């Protein structure tokens, strides 16, 4: 444990925690993808009224919000891994991760506003 490499920018501060968050978020993302794809396949000609009513259902709102939260965690861990592998200068890596963090925050706010705004 003493020799474990700690990095302040990884999600759970440990590889095992990141591994678990990545899998749990993946299951949420996969479930929502199949769910939304089946809605589009079963209702190819959705009207605005139907589309709006669908996203007025509380559990659809919550499932959508949960999915965007999963995107935030999943994308952070994935892009942290990619940045750590390919962007060697510390400044460039932090700058990249700051841009990623801001982008994911905007996605979360945009979705929450679209659902409840």
Partner 1 sequence: MNRKRPVNLDLMTIKQPIAAIASILHRASGVFLLAGVGFLIWMLSQSLDSRQGFEAVRTLLQEPFPKFALWVTLSAVIYHFVAGLKHLVMDMGIGETKEGVKMMSIGVLAIAAVLIVLTGVWIWA
Which residues lie near partner 1 (CB under 8 A)?
23, 26-27, 29-30, 33, 41, 48, 51-52, 55, 68, 71, 75, 78-79, 82, 100, 103, 107, 110-111, 113-115
- What minimum distance in Å lies between the beta carbon of 5 and partner 1? 21
Residue closer to partner 1, measured from CB, 12 or 78: 78
Torsion, Cα of 14, 15, 21, 27 (10° steps): -170
Tell me the C-alpha distance between 33 and 95, whole Å.
Answer: 31
Residue closer to partner 1, measured from CB, 86 or 91: 86
């Amino acid at each position: 444990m003493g020799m474990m490499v700690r990095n302040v920018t990884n999600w759970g501060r440990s590889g095992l925690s990141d591994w678990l968050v990545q899998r749990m978020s993946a299951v949420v993302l996969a479930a929502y993808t199949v769910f939304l794809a089946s809605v589009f396949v079963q209702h190819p000609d959705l009207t605005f009224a139907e589309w709006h009513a669908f996203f007025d259902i509380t559990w659809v709102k919550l499932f959508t919000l949960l999915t965007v939260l999963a995107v935030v965690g999943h994308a952070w861990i994935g892009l942290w891994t990619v940045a750590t592998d390919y962007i060697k200068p510390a400044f460039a890596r932090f700058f990249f991760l700051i841009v990623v963090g801001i982008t994911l925050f905007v996605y979360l706010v945009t979705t929450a506003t679209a659902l409840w705004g």
